[in-house]
Chain A
Amino acid sequence: MSIAFLAEQSFNALQLGLMLFLMAVGVTLAFGTMRLINLAHGSFFMLAAYFYAWIIAQTESGIVAWVGALGALAILAIAIERLIIRPLYLRDHLEQVLATFGLILVFNDLVMMIWGRDPVYVPLPDILSGHVMLGDIAYPTYRLVITAVAVVIGIAIWYLIACTRTGGLIRASADNRAVVQALGANVDRLGAVVFALVAVLAGIAGIMTAPLIAVTSGMGDSVLIQSLVVVIIGGLGSIAGALVGAILVAFVEVFGRTYLPMALGNTTGFALANMAIYLLMAVTLVWRPFGIFGKPR
């Protein structure tokens, strides 16, 4: 196996990992700050892609479509938080899971009613649709760009959480919501802000992934499952955990799929590759029942 092959596969894994991180960080923030298990996260991923596709078809402007799609998503997220999520903060996690699972079903059918069953086209600017040469490797330009954007957003999230007042409140609220409220912070508003923020993060992942996959109803479902695996491995509520978990899952996924069939033959190899990230999850849970960075609760 050549170095170039290894390098290219590592890059594939890194890119997948960063995209998973954008999704997982939303799941983990919503839990960390609001003790909320939010399954509708995959719906935000999907809705952003649909909004983007629709606006860009009308205006033919990528910038308008980016701003419009994320803006619409943030407004929608605030409305959902106010009407559906807020009454559930103090309820059992199971009820949150049921309500947000219901949202998945509603949104999957809603986009089908509005935009139909056939996949929707998302254009890509010509300069991004080709590939660039990295030494001997031809690598898709678009994947390089979204990797770079994901890194920038990752740093921005870290800055927001670690260095700003809102971030301080988010961290404090994750540790002890009641105390933060007693100190006079508006916990309700903080909840709305965080919910809109995580929706936008999922939306960014959705819009960036849209030109790679098909924009269809239910496109967020498999991404949601992978990001839940990431969060369980990294530790629910931990941002560092989301990053480490996402990179781990992505590398196991990519290299498992490449090398397991080579090592064990197609039948066993493919079967094991399908299970690999779940095996990783199981092993992690035996080793650390609350995830790598998780705290016992």
Chain B
Amino acid sequence: MRVGLTLLTGLTLSALLTLSAQAQDPVRLGFLSSMSGTFGVLGAEQKRGLDLALEHLGNKLGGRPLKLIEVDDKSSPVEAADAANKLIEREKIQIVTGLVVSNSMLAAIDPLLKNNVFVVGANAGPSQLAGEKCHQNLFVVAFANEQWGTGLADYLNRKGVKRMMFLGMDYQAGWDHAKSVAKNFKGENLGEIYTPLTQLDFSSVLTQVRAAKPDAIYAFYVGGAAVPFMKQWKQSGLGKTVKLYSMGAIADSMLLPAMGDAALGIETAYSWNPEMKTPGNERFVDDFRKKHGRSPTQFAMFQYDAIMLLDAAVKEAGPEDPDKFRAALKKANFQSLRGSFKFNNNNFPIQDIILQRVEKMPDGKFDLKFLEIIKKDVKDPHHTSCPLKG
């Protein structure tokens, strides 16, 4: 009896030991993104958000130590798929975040999900992954292409804008963004013009805008085309009679220094703005400015949010217990810098859309002034074709 009791105690103790060992095992998190190549600017900005989040968390996730493995896919989907396999086989990765570009994400997602890795995307959100190819272990904290446009169209309708023209870059995101505004806009659509990704001279497009005499235009230009478009818009003088609306990435705090006053006064729809008075936002923005000498962009904010979501989930259950961990992620029991945040049935966010304006700040620099929340609780249009239940 006595021996039995000792044995039992010993067993309990050793069981406790393995349990605590498990709790202290590091969480194996992979940061897979494009840190060089075409989209290297965006991946590097995500990384700044990641670093700041981990700094604020003392390099722990839900109180557990963290093993962070960073991989650069060099903006190539082939490299992304390769990197995903390496993370699975060599690093026994449990969670992957980052994934700044849609095509790299689509290439890496299958091997990751097949091997039961949790994926928390922090920027890209291709529509198929929000719709029929949604997955219980895939969470996207950022946005779906159509969300900002849906919010903006509502705002334009309320303002009574009558005649609009829509410009964009000729690829999936360009169509998604411009068409989401055009489709929901109730005034007269004077035309949609899509320019190839390589086009940097917009004089002929601007001449068409001048001839059509719209009240306002929506323009989707990002990456290498954003600065040229804004400069040429300014030089055309069209801004005096035509109001320009867009989404935040056309003139964010990474691009504004290269634009001078070219973007002054344009209004853009987005998920978040540095001036918002949400809990934690001031600390995030101030610490970021101290480190990098400018305001953070939304790319850094999304990645910061992704880490805070993971932190909150790991507090409840580690990824070793997939069902509990999944439920904890789904609850999204964290304070998003955006304020309101929920996951829809497809694990994409339901979020408020905000409007901001490029203004000259008291320090002489150009930055984004927060104006208002223009639409609350916006869902993406794809969630109805996702078989997952809320």
Contacts and interface: CB of A to CB of B under 8 A. Distances in A.
Contacts of B231: 211-213
Contacts of A216: 224
Given A9-B204, A16-B203, A143-B235, A274 B224 contact: no
Contact of A130 (B44, B200, B227, B237): B237
Interface stretch (A29-37, A163-171, A253-261): A253-261
A143 B201 CA distance: 11
Contacts of A118: 41, 254-255, 257-258
Given A213-B228, A266-B192, A142 B203 contact: no
Given A119-B227, A257-B195, A12 B203 contact: yes
Interface residues of A, number: 41
B204 A5 contact: no
Contacts of A261: 193
A140 B260 contact: no
Contact of B200 (A4, A123, A222): A222
B177 to A, nearest CB: 16
A261 B226 CA distance: 23
B364 to A, nearest CB: 14
Contacts, number: 98
B196 interface: yes
B259 interface: yes
B292 to A, nearest CB: 11
Contacts of A124: 235, 260
Interface stretch (B8-16, B207-215, B266-274, B305-313): B207-215
A106 to B, nearest CB: 15
Contact of B198 (A140, A142, A222): A222
Nearest to B262: A129
A254 B204 contact: yes
Given A212-B201, A213-B227, A140 B210 contact: no
Contacts of A117: 40-41, 44
B257 A121 contact: yes
Interface in A127-186: 129-131, 137-138, 140-143
A60 to B, nearest CB: 14
Given A8-B207, A214-B224, A270-B170, A131 B258 contact: no
Nearest to A256: B204
Contacts of B40: 117
Contact of B211 (A2, A142, A211, A213): A2
Interface in B220-257: 224, 226-228, 231-232, 234-238, 254-255, 257
B194 interface: yes
B260 A123 contact: yes
B297 to A, nearest CB: 11
Contacts of B236: 131, 138, 140
Q: In this complex, which of A9, A118, A123, A219 has the most chain B Cβ atoms within 10 angstroms of its Cβ?
A: A118
Contacts of A219: 200, 224
Contacts of A13: 204
B210 A138 contact: yes
Given A5-B207, A212-B232, A270-B196, 5 more contacts: A9-B204, A119-B227, A137-B210, A212-B200, A214-B227
